[in-house]
Each structure stands twice: as C-alpha cells, then as structure tokens.
Structure 1
Amino acid sequence: MPDILGYLGKFGVLGPSTNTVVQPDFDMMRPPGVTAHYSRILTPNAQAVSNETFRAGSLKIAEGVFDAVRSVMTCAPDYLVMGMSAVTFYGGKAGAEAFRDGVEREAGVRLSCGSLASAAALRAYGARRVAFLSPYYPVANAEVRRYLEEEGFEVVRDICLQCPSWTAIAEVTPETLRHRLRELDGPDVDAILQVGTNLSMVRLAAAAEMWLGKPVIAINTATWWHALRANGIWDRMEGFGRLLSDF
C-alpha cells in the first residue's frame, strides 16, 4: 500500500546539520503526493574557514553521510536526495559517480546528487558555455570546474564567495548575489550555475532568468527537479525557473 501522504514518492533527504536552506527550499518545490524526510549529517559549525581548511572540512562532513543514510532508511523512503553539493563534485566525473554509487549501495535505493543533477539541468537547457557561483573557496571551485569540464561543458569563469563559516553561507544577501550574477554574465555565457546548497538562490535564480535572459540554475532546484523526474513525477511548477516549469 502507498504511504497516505507520500503516495507518489517518499524522499529521504541528506544534509549537513548546519544547513538551514535545503529543507525550506525543497519543501517549497514539493508537489502533492511527495514527502521529504530529512536526515541530518552531524556537522560542527566550522569557523574561520580558509582555502586550506575548506576541503578537509567538507570531507569531514562526507564521513557522516552513511550514518545519515542508515538513519533515514528506517522510514523506508523510495529515493534519496543529497542536500550537500561540494563533495559530490570532488574527483571529477568518476568521483561524482563513485559518490552516488556508494550511497546507493548502502541505501538500496537510488540517489540524486548536486553534481550529476547540475549536468543534467545544463543539458536540458542545451547550455555549453557555463559560468558558476559558489560560497566555496578556490580549492573547491577548482573541483567544480574539473567536473563540469569532464562532463563536456566549457567553464568561462567562476566566483567563490569564501564564506567564513558553514552557517554564514545562509547569510549571503540577495543584493550580493545579484551583483555577483551580473559579474558572471556576458555574451560568452550560455547559462549560470549556482552551487552550494546552503546558499539561498531558488527564487532569485528564477527571477534572474528573466532579467538576464538566459538559464540561471540554483543547485537545489536542479537536484530536486532531477529527483522528481527520475521518479516519473512530471508536475510543472511555476515560480522556480524554467527547469521546473518547462522540462
């Protein structure tokens, strides 16, 4: 028998305990019949993050992923959605696929994660030349660039905001993000991608598509869209950009 509320799908969502954006973002985009069940990856709120410590800190978060998987699987979800993006880009295309495959082996169900979902979203739009924005440090932006290039995209330019702590990522203002989007834009760019799941961009990216006249993809939108479509859920939703309304 189907779950009374999750009759189209029960999604287990994995995210760092410091992340305050993923849950409300995904809930905004949740059609009737889909439920989301959050499993928090215990994450100390790293302070004074630097280029030297960012990668080590993000890998430390990744160490808790399997514990979070085992916890959320007790509610018997049909599918998993990764609410953390940095480590899903590490190691290029092979690293992204290995991350997905490891979680799927542990869980026994499939997973949507930020790296693979972003590539699928860019392809849906037909984009080739890409610029991207992150709250990361250069060491992590280099991993995102490597992944995108191995997937066949040309990365024209990128910006990393170098947020000083994990929770500070959620404090970046829309005004700051608007300025950064304009810095990234240009006639040489087909689409702009935002990575970093604790950076609040779902609504802003949808609006930016209108005033920039090109795809602007928030990673939380791409990951949730990927999960819905992978499960045959084709609801079209307005207000979150063309990805959810047109594809």
Structure 2
Amino acid sequence: MTDSLGPRLKVGVVVPATNTSAQPEMEAMRPVGVTNHTGRMPTADTSLTASIDNLVDSYRESTHKAIGSIVPCKPDCVVIGFSPEIYWDGPDSHAGVLASMKEAADGIPVSMSPDAVNTALACYGARRIAVITPYLPVGDDTVTRFFTDSGYDVVKVQGLGCSSPEKISHVSEAELRHTVKEIDSRDVEAIVQIGTNVAMARVAATAEEWTGKPVITNNTVLYWHALRQNGITDRVPGFGSLLTEH
C-alpha cells in the first residue's frame, strides 16, 4: 500500500525555525499526489550584522536533527531548505556535506542548493550569472567565491542586507523587482537568487518575461530538482520556465 495523500511522492523539507517562506512556496508548487512534510531546525534568530560564522556552526547540528525528525514518516526524498552551510566552505566541501545529509536521512535522496542550481543552469547552458543574496557583504563574498570556484563567471552580486534570518522574509516583492533590474545586464545569461527565506518565486516567474532570461530562485529550483530527480515530470504553471519547460 502507498500513502493515501502522497501516492506519487513524499517530500521531506528541512528549514530553519526562522524560515517562513520555503514551506508556503513549496506547498504552492506541489503537484497532485505529492505531499510535503516539514521539519524545523531548532535555531535562534542570530544577528547577521557582523559575521555569519556562528550561524553556520550552530546550524550544522540542527540540520541533522531536523532531518531525523522527518525520517520516521518515510519520505521518498529530502530537500535541504538552508543555504549558508552549503556555500560557506566552498565547492570542494560539498560532497562531504551532501554525504552527511544523506547519512542523516538514512540514505534516501537529498536535494541541496548547489546541485539544484548547477542542474538548472546546465538546462539553460548559462555560465555568466548575476546573483542575489539576502546577506551583508561577508555572505555575498562567500557565495560569489563558491560560484566562481565552481566555474561560473559572476558578473555581479547584490546582497539584500538583511540583519537577521527572520528579517529575510520581510523583503518585499517591490524590492526584489528593483534588485533584479539593478543586477541585470546584457552580458548576464541567468540570474540566481540564494536564500530560502526570500519569498521570490512569483517575482522570478514574472521577471523572466521582462528580462528574457532565466531567473532561478532558491525555493523553486530546490523543489524542481527534488521532483525531477524522483520521477515527477509534471509542468507546474506560475513559477517560471524551470517548472513549465524542464
């Protein structure tokens, strides 16, 4: 027998306790017969005004705890809805981080931002990118270095300057539209937004229409990656070209 509400796929979603954007955005993308099951990492709303080193360190253990909280419902895959830990130590550390997440998930498939973004950019053949982050300069530099070390040409990076993880969800759609216009240029092949507490799914979809290029937002690309990696090929309208064309 299969799960009565999720006979096609059960998706585990891990997010920080401060995150109020990933869960509703991913729920809105859910195809019929797919269910989402959210585990929250026990985290505090730590200041981002100086450094996020302490934030990253505190989140590592809590990520595994959150994964452990959803494993008993036997999801088919797990989405890691948290970015800083993934980018902080560079691409060379990613394989080890991914392996630790899979181990915590008892070996089931895990989707993380670098894999999802790399797969999406490959779909578009894009190597020259502009990046939006929720961070202050120290976080922007880390994300830029990650993409550069991964072989991308980062034309421009723009941080939203959020002072704490919880405040990231306060960024308005108007500010996000303005930021897309600020970082876009003729030599940018795709725009990538990092940070799962940024509610940018709707803005990204409409921005593709007036930029004429892919606008890849963190929650959309993570959920798309989880669906496609697990055999769900449904086209989901309203969230941009990834979910309707790829």
* Offset from partner CA, 1:100-152 (integer Å, 9 cap, x none): 11110121211001122111111111111000001112222222222222322
Contact kept, 8 Å, 2:117 with 2:221, in 1: the verdict is yes
Identity %: 41
- Give the CA deviation at 1:214: 0.8
Q: Please report how far the alpha carbon of residue 60 of structure 1 lies from its aligned counterpart in structure 2 after TM superposition.
A: 1.3
Match of 1:65 among 55, 63, 77: 63
Q: Distance in 2 between matches of 1:59 and 1:143?
A: 15
Residue number in structure 2 paired with 1:181: 180
Cross-structure match for 1:223:
222
Structure 1 runs (4+) greater than 4 angstroms displaced: none
Could you tell me which runs of 5 or more consecutive residues in structure 2 were left unpaired when the two chains were aligned: none
Partners of 2:139 and 2:61 lie apart in 1 by: 17
Unaligned runs of 5+ in 1: none
For 1:219, the aligned partner's letter is: N
- Are residue 171 (structure 1) and residue 177 (structure 2) matched? no
Moved more, 30-39 or 135-144: 135-144
Matched pairs, number: 245
Show the 5 A alignment for 1:228-247.
228-247=227-246
1:34-49 mapped onto 2 (5 Å cutoff):
34-47=34-47, 49=48
Q: Does 1:102 align with 2:97?
A: no
Q: Structure 1 residues 150, 53: CA separation in 2 closer, same or farther (over 3 Å shift)?
A: closer
Q: Map Cα deviations across residues 198-238 of structure 1 (whole Å, 9 max, x no partner).
A: 00100000000001111111111000000000001100111
- Higher mean C-alpha deviation, range 141-150 or range 226-235: 141-150
2:193 is matched with 194
Aligned partners of 1:149, 1:228: CA distance in 2, in Å? 27
- On the 8 A contact 2:51/2:138 being kept in 1, the answer is no
Q: State whether residues 54 and 137 of structure 1, in contact with CA within 8 Å, keep that contact through their aligned partners in structure 2.
A: no
Confirm or deny that 1:211 pairs with 2:204: no
Residue 55 of structure 1 contacts residue 139 of structure 1 at CA under 8 Å; is this kept in 2?
no
Residue type at the aligned position of 2:96:
A
State the secondary structure of the residue aligned to 1:6.
coil
Task: Please say if residues 29 and 237 of structure 1, whose CA atoms lie closer than 8 Å, have aligned partners that are also in contact.
Answer: yes
Tell me if structure 2 keeps the 8 A contact 1:238–1:245.
Answer: yes
SS at match of 1:64: helix
RMSD: 1.2
Q: Tell me the SS of whatever aligns to 2:130.
A: strand
Q: Secondary structure at the match of 1:158?
A: strand
* Native 8 Å contact 1:96 1:116 kept in 2: no
1:78 counterpart residue number: 76
User: TM-score with structure 2 length normalisation?
Assistant: 0.96
Residue 76 of structure 1 and its aligned partner are, at CA, apart by 1.0
Provide the residue aligned with 1:15 in structure 2.
15
What TM-score results when the alignment is normalised by the length of structure 1?
0.96
Which letter does structure 1 place at the counterpart of 2:239? Answer: F
Corresponding residue number in structure 2 for 1:145: 144
Whole-angstrom CA distance in 1 between matches of 2:96 and 2:145: 15
2:85 corresponds, among 83, 87, 107, to: 87
